[in-house]
């Protein structure tokens, strides 16, 4: 498992919580931290402090992933982003799917902006968000080639892999993840971090949120736009 992070202490505390309750734990959890304020590493992780550089791009996702690559020891690699909610069987099911194909991802992306109580559900079945993508170690060299350029690494991956990849949905299993937007800390890459972006729909009473996120009560303190 690889988690790039930086200056998102609240989000990363939750990320650790989602990791600890996985039904199948990864053998190695590589965390690359390039925040202005270094975080305190936990015993469960292989923590790497990457000091920010003046030559860093605006979004350092590719740089941080590149720093993690030489450390990988396993034959299956998953990306776990720090501001996502992950269900307890996420690692288990993704690892099982990687027994079948070289690259796997979850389609029909789900995003929830916690600050304004709105959601987006896409119909994408030709690519998956990087936060819901995994691959075998045989794909690592090719993966490295996608780290250069704009931060939309996921689009480059799925455009290139063709039939070697599998996109599935969690509709008939259980909710395995939800992309959480609007958390305190450094803003992420996607347009969904902007609550005014077109496509967001209101969720009166939080019905959608509760159906997507089993641990919905954890986020109650920041719903409605409360900021740190």
Q: Dihedral of CA 221/121/80/70: which sign?
A: negative
Q: Dihedral of CA 62/63/64/65: which sign?
A: positive
Number of Cβ within a 10 Å radius of residue 184: 15
Q: Is 168 among the domain residues? A: yes
Q: Is 159 among the domain residues? A: yes
User: What is the number of alpha carbons within 13 Å of residue 137 lying toward its C-beta?
Assistant: 9
Q: Residue 160 has what DSSP assignment?
A: H
Residue with the two structure tokens 């350092």: 60
Q: Residue 190 has what DSSP assignment?
A: S
C-alpha–C-alpha distance, residues 215 and 133, integer Å: 22
Q: Is 137 among the domain residues? A: yes
Q: Is 196 among the domain residues? A: yes
Residue with the two structure tokens 């005014």: 196
C-alpha–C-alpha distance, residues 33 and 189, integer Å: 16
CATH number at residue 191: 3.90.550.10
Domain housing 56? 2-222
Pairing type for strands 30-33 and 46-49 reads parallel
pLDDT (0 to 100) of residue 43: 83
The H-or-E segment that residue 3 falls in is: strand 2-5
Burial 11-25 (b: 16+ CB within 10 A, else e): bbebbbebbeebeee
CB neighbour list of residue 221: distance below 8 Å, 6 or more residues apart: none
How many domains, in total, are found in the chain? 1
Q: What is the 3-state secondary structure (H, E, C) of 13-50?
A: HHHHHHHHCCCCCCCCCEEEECCCCCCCCCCCCEEEEC
SS3 80: coil
Q: Is 227 among the domain residues? A: no
Q: pLDDT truncated to tens, each residue of the chain (228 aa)?
A: 999 999 999 999 999 999 999 999 999 999 999 999 999 888 889 999 999 999 999 999 999 999 999 999 999 999 999 999 999 999 999 999 999 999 999 999 999 999 899 999 999 999 999 999 999 999 999 999 999 999 999 999 999 998 889 999 999 899 999 999 999 899 888 778 888 888 999 999 899 999 999 999 999 766 544 333
Q: Is 102 among the domain residues? A: yes
Is residue 106 within 8 Å of residue 130, measured between CB atoms? no
pLDDT (0 to 100) of residue 223: 54
Q: Is the pTM for the entire model greater than 0.85?
A: yes
Q: Is 173 among the domain residues? A: yes
Q: Is 13 among the domain residues? A: yes
């Amino acid at each position: 498992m690889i988690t790039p992070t930086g200056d998102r202490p609240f989000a990363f505390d939750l990320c650790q919580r989602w990791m600890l309750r996985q039904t199948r734990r990864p053998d190695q959890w590589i965390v690359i931290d390039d925040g202005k304020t270094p975080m305190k590493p936990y015993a469960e992780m292989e923590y790497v402090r990457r000091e920010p550089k003046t030559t860093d791009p605006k979004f350092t996702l590719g740089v941080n992933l590149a720093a993690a690559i030489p450390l990988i020891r396993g034959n299956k690699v998953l990306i776990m982003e720090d501001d996502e909610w992950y269900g307890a069987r996420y690692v288990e099911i993704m690892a099982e799917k990687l027994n079948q194909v070289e690259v796997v991802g979850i389609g029909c992306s789900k995003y929830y902006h916690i600050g304004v109580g709105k959601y987006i559900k896409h119909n994408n079945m030709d690519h998956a968000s990087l936060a819901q993508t995994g691959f075998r170690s045989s794909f690592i060299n090719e993966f490295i080639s996608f780290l250069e350029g704009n931060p939309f690494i996921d689009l480059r991956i799925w455009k290139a892999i063709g039939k070697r990849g599998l996109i599935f949905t969690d509709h008939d299993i259980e909710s395995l993840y939800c992309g959480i937007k609007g958390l305190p800390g450094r803003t992420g890459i996607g347009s969904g971090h902007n609550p005014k972006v077109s496509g967001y729909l209101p969720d009166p009473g939080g019905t959608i949120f509760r159906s997507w996120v089993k641990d919905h009560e954890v986020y109650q303190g920041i719903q409605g736009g409360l900021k740190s």
